[in-house]
């Protein structure tokens, strides 16, 4: 059984002006997401700026998220690291706090071999009982999980059950699903490729777009599952310009800017991320207006 089916939000982490976590704003975002039909909350991922949180902040935020969601939808905790020992530590703590599943990004910077990736993910998985979603985003990590490696992991490690695919390489995803023969659950990691990956057997999306358009992102998936392929396609294509604007600078700079434009008070970014260039803010504003969320 899939961890979730539909649209999971890769939720942002709101900060106060001094850089501390704004838990009050985070709780509001969670409530708005659940009310908007979001099917899962993914906390402390790339969009949540996990790489600039202290370990204490990281774990406190996971615990707070679990308590706030209170079982209404699955909470998936981002606990990946380029240090295997750190990933084990974060993962075992998240399990204690009641997370429903873990999201493990490929180790960044190290450029591990496929054998190294296998050993890394297996070591983390063996330390917990929670189901695990692999996260393949080579554009950010410099490391690509080859389809054969992902299938080997899902076949040989019982609690590695899914993959978030953000390579952008549809051919690679098709090869993965062909080799997997139903042994792996697929989630799109790119908002502009939700429908294509659903068509390859995907269970849904782990979404940046959902931060600003939860109901619409949910509907892209739900219409597809309901057999309304044309309706799903139209929602996907309607969102393309907004998706482009949300990635015109590195994520999560644009999406936090968008939420602030919407009055959500998510605050600043942690360095080395910085404010958007003015011309890109205007591009984002126009896209949001055209989409009808501003």
Cα 176 to Cα 148: distance, rounded to the nearest angstrom: 7
Specify the residue for token string 């907004």: 242
Assigned token pair, 24: 């009050």
Show the tokens assigned to 155.
Answer: 């076949």
The pair phi, psi for residue 167, each rounded to 5°, is -70, -25
Is there a catalytic annotation at residue 164?
yes
Distance separating alpha carbons of residues 223 and 217, to the nearest angstrom: 10
Distance linking the first and last C-alpha atoms of the chain: 37
Per the residue annotation, which of 63, 152, 164, 203 is the catalytic one?
164
- Rounded to whole angstroms, how far apart are CA atoms 160 and 106? 13
Rounded distance between C-alpha atoms, residue 206 and residue 177, angstroms: 18
A 10 A CB-CB count for 67 gives 12
Angle subtended at Cα 104 by Cα 118 and Cα 9, rounded to the nearest 5 degrees: 150
Q: What are the tokens at 270? A: 């942690």
Catalytic entry in 135, 223, 256, 264: 135
Give strand ranges (E) for 196-255.
204-207
**Does residue 135 carry a catalytic annotation?**
yes
Catalytic residue IDs: 135, 164
């Amino acid at each position: 059984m899939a961890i979730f089916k539909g649209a999971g939000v890769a939720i942002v982490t709101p900060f106060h002006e001094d850089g501390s976590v704004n838990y009050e704003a985070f709780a509001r975002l969670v409530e708005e997401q659940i009310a908007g039909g979001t099917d899962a909350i993914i906390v402390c991922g790339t969009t949540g700026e996990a790489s600039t949180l202290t370990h204490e902040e990281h774990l406190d935020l996971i615990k707070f998220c679990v308590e706030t969601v209170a079982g209404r939808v699955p909470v998936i905790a981002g606990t990946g690291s380029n240090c295997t020992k750190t990933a084990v530590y974060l993962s075992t703590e998240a399990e204690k706090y009641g997370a429903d599943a873990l999201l493990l990004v490929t180790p960044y910077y190290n450029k591990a071999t496929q054998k190294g990736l296998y050993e890394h993910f297996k070591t983390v998985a063996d330390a917990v009982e929670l189901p695990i979603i692999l996260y393949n985003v080579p554009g950010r990590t410099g490391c690509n999980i080859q389809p054969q490696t992902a299938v080997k992991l899902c076949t040989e490690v019982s609690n590695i059950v899914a993959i978030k695919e953000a390579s952008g390489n549809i051919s690679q995803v098709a090869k993965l699903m062909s080799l997997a023969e139903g042994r792996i659950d697929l989630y799109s990691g790119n908002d502009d490729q939700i429908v294509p990956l659903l068509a390859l057997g995907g269970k849904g999306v782990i979404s940046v777009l959902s931060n600003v358009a939860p109901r619409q992102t949910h509907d892209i998936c739900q219409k597809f599952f309901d057999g309304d392929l044309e309706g799903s396609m139209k929602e996907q294509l309607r969102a393309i310009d907004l998706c482009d604007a949300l990635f015109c600078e590195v994520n999560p700079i644009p999406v936090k800017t968008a939420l602030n434009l919407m009055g959500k008070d998510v605050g600043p970014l942690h360095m080395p991320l910085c404010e958007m260039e003015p011309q890109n803010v205007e591009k984002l504003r126009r896209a949001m207006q055209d989409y009808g969320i501003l």
